[in-house]
Amino acid sequence: MKTPLPLLVFTDLDGTLISHDTYEWDAAAPALVALRGIGAGVVLASSKTAAEIITLRQALGLERWPAIVENGAGLLAPHSTVLPDNAAYFLVRQTLNDMPPKGRDHYRGFGDMTVDEIAEITGLDPDAAGRAAQRAFSEPGLWSGNPSELDEFLSDLAQKGIIAREGGRFLTLSLGKTKADQMADIIAQYQPTHTVALGDAPNDVEMLETADLGIIVPNPHNAPLPALKGEATGWITRTTRIGPEGWNAAMLDLLMRLNLT
């Protein structure tokens, strides 16, 4: 009889498992080792591209688990190193370029930037920035207009089937699907005893509210998330520490509370 998966962890990367400033995750190593020791799964769920996730997933030793890429717009299968088809991305770009100038001129996506420019605004090195530019499903970018102009821009995009998601740094456009949409399919496949989600930004909210337990890791670079459904009853909590330090402390505490250590 197959042993049930004790815990399946869904985690955002930038500002959560990975430091917003240094892109390091060393501080989370003790919890990652503990999770591996009990046979728990860790699913990376990020706005990052498949090209970025492949490299990170290997470095973290998490290749045996699927990964949610580009804010839930796509999925990377376990062990896969094959980049997905990018037809969806070109459709997003075509729709964006067909928008009226009064909105389009205020939105500067990765497709409008050189790799060096992406490196400058993200803090990534040129190689990592090049992987971030290899889009398959979605277009992150910066908005320079005012709030009313943004509302009109997003309304126009929605009428054309393009959905906008606010992350830790960028406004990302896609054809839809959230991290929670992909999460539901993965849970159905692995049927874990417990699920937990960790995140720091608005594009993590559905994921945090879908898991059995949600953990908000504060990101001092962004406004705090508003009170979420589940915080009043305690199945969504907030760490006091930030980034991988907060991730590590929260996960080690959770393993003790679930008697999984």
What one-letter code names the amino acid at 240? Answer: T
125 is annotated as an active-site residue = no
- Structure tokens belonging to residue 161: 């089937």
Which one, of 78, 69, 74, 77, lies nearest residue 88 by Cα? 74
DSSP lists the bridge partners of residue 198 as 11, 215
Q: Tell me the C-alpha to C-alpha distance, in Å, between residue 208 and each of 125, 171, 187, 202.
A: 30, 19, 14, 10
User: Exposed, middle or buried: residue 37 (CB in 10 Å: 0-12, 13-18, 19+)?
Assistant: exposed
Residue found by looking up tokens 């699927």 in the block: 66
Selected catalytic residue, list 12, 14, 200, 204: 12
d(CA 240, CA 67): 27
Catalytic residues: 12
